[in-house]
Amino acid sequence: MNTAATTRLDIEKIRAQFPVLNQLVNGKPLVYLDNAATNQKPKRVIDALTSYYEKDNANIHRGIHTLAERATKAYEQTRHAMQQFIHAKHVEEIIFTRGVTESINLVTASYGRAFLKAGDEVIISGLEHHSNIVPWQMICEEKKAILKVIPVTDIGEIDLEAYYKLLSAKTKIVAVNHASNSLGTINPIKEIIDAAHNVGAVILIDGAQASAHLPIDVQELDCDFYCISSHKMYGPTGTGILYGKKDLLEKMPPYMGGGEMIKEVTFAKTTYNDLPYKFEAGTPNIADVVALNEAIQFINELGKENIAAHENELLSYTVKKLSAIPHVKLVGTAKEKVSVQSFIIEGIHHFDIGQMLDTRGIAVRTGHHCTQPLMDHFGIEGTVRASFSVYNTKDEVDQLVEGVERIVNFMK
């Protein structure tokens, strides 16, 4: 662990930038450990939203008046910032969507509908969020393609050997996450991508749980699609991106029809706009896209390696403390993880644990985390999940641990 990097961040100073953290919940200082669901927003992101509406609000790409020009410029600046953030080769490879769910649906509805044929195979993993399962089931059903699933090991890692065996000339698409939301497992996506390409398949990476924690270089990874949600990386809800390789995006049909995505419309025929606008029909979520730029700068200024070093330290501390409590069982103990820890307490329902922790001001997620097949694999209904962001502290972990200890002592 890079402790030298950890000391570089002044966590109290960082916390002070997040107004929401400064409140009492049920009479106790809020301990927010539900960051994998959505993390909190620094003041600069909130200010960017307010400032956009107070000073610049206008529809983009259409008007020639000053406000329209300002709004368009700010919106396109975020596209450039995101291009750099994931090191995309071309700016038009960045498509704004509502987030990962819409990005995946865009690919299944456009690429999947255009290129999948009966008997083709699509591979996902047993670690996926429902949003990287259901859209593939829907398109496979429509196209009579076959969905295959890479099994997961007992510690919550993708079984790579099994994956290699599933691959064949029939494989047309592989879709896996960069990091698991339920278990935190970081997947060996470079190996997964290269193996998919070896059989001529295209590959989509769901980066929902990676963008705030892990370095992303889409050119080095050589993935075909990469999906990000803004709200999981300190940005606003309701926006995110689909990255796609230009040559693929160019041959894909539009996903939605409407304004903005056209070049010319007649009743006889419509021609479509160039990338990225071909995939951005209608008035987009301008304000949130503009504010997303601040979230990108926030991460860039802290440095992802510094963020990860701090979060890894919190995770190791959590694992050490929780695993020492009788009746607590950790779920997901992969070697490489982002800062997520799921656990159960034998004989106590996860909802009850979540509710009891909430009375102490501690926010955790409970349930299946939109990964029901993964819970089935472990033979459980759900877990309690603590997940960390850069503003969390060891003191907060201590409060979680104390809360869990009290629950165990009280219930057992």
> Which residues of this protein are in contact with ligand 7TS, per CB under 6 A?
36-37, 99-101, 129, 131-132, 177, 181, 206, 208-209, 229, 365, 369-370
CB of 338 to ligand 7TS, least distance (A): 10
Classify residue 147 as exposed, middle or buried by CB count within 10 Å of its CB (0-12, 13-18, 19+).
middle
CB of 232 to ligand 7TS, least distance (A): 6
Q: Is the CB of 381 or the CB of 405 nearer to ligand 7TS? A: 381
Q: Is the CB of 189 or the CB of 408 nearer to ligand 7TS? A: 189
Q: Which of 140, 223, 227, 370 is catalytic?
A: 370
Q: Is the CB of 226 or the CB of 273 nearer to ligand 7TS? A: 226
CB of 408 to ligand 7TS, least distance (A): 25
Residue 255 contacts residue 225 (beta carbons within 8 Å): no
CB of 8 to ligand 7TS, least distance (A): 28
Quickly tell me which residue has 């025929």 as its tokens: 269
Angle at 144 between CA 139 and CA 148, to 5 degrees: 75
Half-sphere CA count of 59, side-chain side, radius 13 A:
7
Q: What is the rounded CA–CA span in Å between residue 136 and residue 150? A: 14
CB of 237 to ligand 7TS, least distance (A): 8
| Both tokens assigned to 274 | 């160039």
Q: What is the rounded CA–CA span in Å between residue 41 and residue 47? A: 10
| Both tokens assigned to 311 | 């979060």
223 carries an active-site annotation: no
Q: Is the CB of 61 or the CB of 368 nearer to ligand 7TS? A: 368
CB of 208 to ligand 7TS, least distance (A): 3
Hey, how many other C-beta atoms are within 10 angstroms of the C-beta on 89? 11
Q: Which residue is nearest to ligand 7TS (CB)?
A: 181
Q: Is the CB of 133 or the CB of 390 nearer to ligand 7TS? A: 133
| Both tokens assigned to 64 | 């020639």
**Size of the chain in residues:** 412
Q: Is the CB of 6 or the CB of 229 nearer to ligand 7TS? A: 229
Q: Is the CB of 172 or the CB of 178 nearer to ligand 7TS? A: 178
CB of 184 to ligand 7TS, least distance (A): 10
Q: Which of the residues are catalytic?
A: 370
